[in-house]
Structure formats: C-alpha cells, structure tokens
Amino acid sequence: KGGVFTYDPGFTSTAACDSTITFIDGDKGELLHRGYPIDQLAEKSHFLEVCFLLLYGELPSAAELEDFEARVTRHTMVHEQMHNFFRGFRRDAHPMATLVGVVGAMSAFYHDSTDINDDWQREVAAIRLIAKLPTIASMAFKYSIGQPFVYPRNDLDYAANFLHMCFSVPAEKYEVDPILARAMDRIFTLHADHEQNASTSTVRLASSSGANPFACIAAGIACLWGPAHGGANQACLEMLEEIGTVDRIPEYIARAKDKDDPFRLMGFGHRVYKNFDPRAKVMKQSADEVLDLLGIEDNPKLQVAKELEKQALNDPYFAEKKLFPNVDFYSGIILEAMGFPTSMFTPIFALARTVGWISQWKEQISDPKLKIGRPRQLYKGETLRDYVDIENR
C-alpha cells in the first residue's frame, strides 16, 4: 500500500499502491482517467483540461480552467541560465539524453524552493514541470538541429506553443496550423497517464524516498526512453521503414513468432492490455485525419502499418498471445507527417506523460502512511557458505 511494492508468500506481486487517478481494464481494453473514458476525453476535452482532471480529480469549471491555463502559461519560460546546460551536450546527442540531463538540472535550480511537505510548493513544482517540459523538449530538438532556441509565446495554446517553439525560425514568419495543433493536443492527451507503467513506477519509487520532484521526473524520463516502453514509438516507425513494402510483412511476422529471434513487433503487445489499447484506436483515426488534411494520401508507412495490423490480428500466434497494437503503433506516423524526426517521438511522449508522473507523485507523497518503496526479491543464489582463501581455490 502507499507505493510500497509488497509480495505475498506466494511471491505473486500484489498491488504496488492505492490510486484514484487512472483505471485500466486490460481485458476489455478500457482506460479511464478519474472515471472518464479516454476516447471521450480525446474527442471532447483538451490536454490542459485533462491535466487539471488528473491533478485535482474533477473536470474544471470555466473559471478554474482559465486560471489553471494562465498559471501554466506564465511558467513556460525557463531560467535563462538553463540555456547553458545545452552547450554541454554533443549536438548529436539523442534529445532524450538531453531531456534527462536538463530536467534533472531543474532540481539544482529549484532545490531550495521545493519543500515537498508544503502543499503550495508541491503545486508550484507541478505547474513548473507541466509548463516547462515542452520548452525544454523543443530546446533539445533545436539544439540537435543547430537552430536557435525559440521562446514560448503566451498568445498560443499549449500544443500550438510547442509546435511554434519546434518549427519556427527567426528568419521567417511561422503560422501554426490549427489542425496540426489539434492533432498534437490529442496526442498529448492520449499519453497523459497510464496507471503504474514502468516509468510511473520509477517516479513513485524515487518519490517514496522524499527526493526532489524534478529529480524524480528525470528518473521517469530515463525509464521511458527504453524501446520496450516509451522508446517504442521511435522503434516502431524505424521498423515500418525497414519493412518498407507490404510484401515483406510475412517475413517480419515470422521473425516476431520465432522464439530464437529477439525481434519483436514494435508497437504491438502490452503488459496489461489483452485487447485493443483504446488509445491505439483513437491514434489510428487521427493518423487517417492528419495525413488526409496534410494531403499525404498514400503514406507507405501507414499502408504497411494497416496491413501489418491486419495480418498480425489474423495470425493464431498473436490471437493466442493476445497481442494487439498499442499506443505506439500509429503515433510515429502522425508525428513524422507533422515534421518531427524519429528522435523527437519519445521526448513528446515524455512531455505529455509529465502530468501523469506528477499527479502520481503528488498522490504518493501526500499519503501520510508513506513508506519508502522497498521491493523484495525471490532469492535463487547460493546458500550460506564460508570464505575460501585464494591458495585453496
């Protein structure tokens, strides 16, 4: 309870913690945020309203939403001195490496002003992280392509601001396409929180020791980077690129089924979903819409993705193992069509998931019964034995 990983005598893990934030029914393919289904939130809400819901438990009134959006907007700039951190990275560093480093460095900037036992300071840390992650992610992108950083603008909404910081250049006017901004916002919403996934559990474990919240989020970013987790969106697009044409799909499906082949279908399968990931359904619709609106009709990767999904879902192996497309299967196609390189896919996942990590961090540290997370193990090593001097070995 309360974030401690406990094992019953049978060593089958029991619940890692109590939570009221997100509910997943893996068999039904259902995902609720504070009781609201993800497909309704993706269609009717928008990311900052979902942030409010995750953080405070209820949908905001118009006045509450206006105040919340104003508070986030006012914190989107980073301390000017933080620009120096980027200079320490190689230009060709993966933006996730930069994100881990710079977000971790925020704990050096805000360490003294973050007493996690103080409600107000917890609130400020939460707002600062939600507000600044898009700015830092866009700076990591700009740094990797040798372009100047672009400051946030208070007249743009959250998603439009991020696109503006990523794609505008001082040399010419850049107008954010409202359709892309809407698609970007929906991608943020679909990635906002997901119960006790690996990176969220990392944040909870780090926060259970009372660590600085910025350092805890940096730990979550590091965990998300892995190709089995948040890095799957980049790995999935690279897989679709490698497959190239639909006639090569059977070869890759055979490899995915081969026990001796480490290859996995990226964007397929899930620890919890044994049915369709509801986010993948919304993402697939979005992919069709965005590519259509961008006039990218016959996108070869989308064609391969749809045919791969069809063949895999008709294959007894995937049916038996209950493997379905997950949130990462279609997201990369949209992000690439928007102009992002594959290296920016996981940073986008990280900036969207920050509100989920922070909401779960707040829930974790506000539990008065909080104990430090201390997972146990199933010891399978040597039993007790005496030391042997080297001459007798």
Binding site for ligand SDX (CB under 6 A): 194, 197, 228-230, 232, 256, 264-272, 321, 323, 326-328
> Is 75 exposed, middle or buried, given 0-12, 13-18 or 19+ CB atoms closer than 10 A?
middle
By Cβ distance, which residue is nearest to ligand SDX? 269
Residues 50 and 354: their CA atoms lie apart, in Å, by 12
Q: Which residues contact 250 (CB under 8 A, 6 or more apart)?
A: 311
Asked if residues 134 and 238 have their Cβ atoms less than 8 Å apart, the reply is no
Residues 264 and 253: their CA atoms lie apart, in Å, by 9
Residue among 22 and 144 whose Cβ is closer to ligand SDX: 22
Structure tokens at 23: 């509910």
Kindly state the smallest distance separating residue 362's Cβ from ligand SDX, in Å.
18
Q: Which residues contact 40 (CB under 8 A, 6 or more apart)?
A: none
Nearest CA among 213, 199, 185 for reference residue 348: 185
Residue among 14 and 84 whose Cβ is closer to ligand SDX: 14
Residues 72 and 112: their CA atoms lie apart, in Å, by 21
Kindly state the smallest distance separating residue 359's Cβ from ligand SDX, in Å.
14
Asked if residues 313 and 253 have their Cβ atoms less than 8 Å apart, the reply is no
Q: Which amino acid is at 320?
A: E
Strand partners for 169: 172
Residue among 51 and 165 whose Cβ is closer to ligand SDX: 51
Structure tokens at 316: 């007894």
Kindly state the smallest distance separating residue 213's Cβ from ligand SDX, in Å.
19
Whole-number Cα distances in Å, 24 to 9, 222, 327, 329, 340: 26, 24, 14, 19, 30
Residue among 139 and 224 whose Cβ is closer to ligand SDX: 224
Kindly state the smallest distance separating residue 328's Cβ from ligand SDX, in Å.
5
Q: Which of 270, 277, 288, 367 is catalytic?
A: 270
Kindly state the smallest distance separating residue 267's Cβ from ligand SDX, in Å.
5
Residue among 294 and 313 whose Cβ is closer to ligand SDX: 313
Residue among 328 and 363 whose Cβ is closer to ligand SDX: 328
Please say if 328 is a catalytic residue.
yes
Kindly state the smallest distance separating residue 325's Cβ from ligand SDX, in Å.
9
Q: Which of 157, 185, 277, 328 is catalytic?
A: 328
378-389 as b/e, with b when 16 or more CB fall inside 10 Å? eeeeeeeeeeee
As annotated, the active-site residues are 270, 328
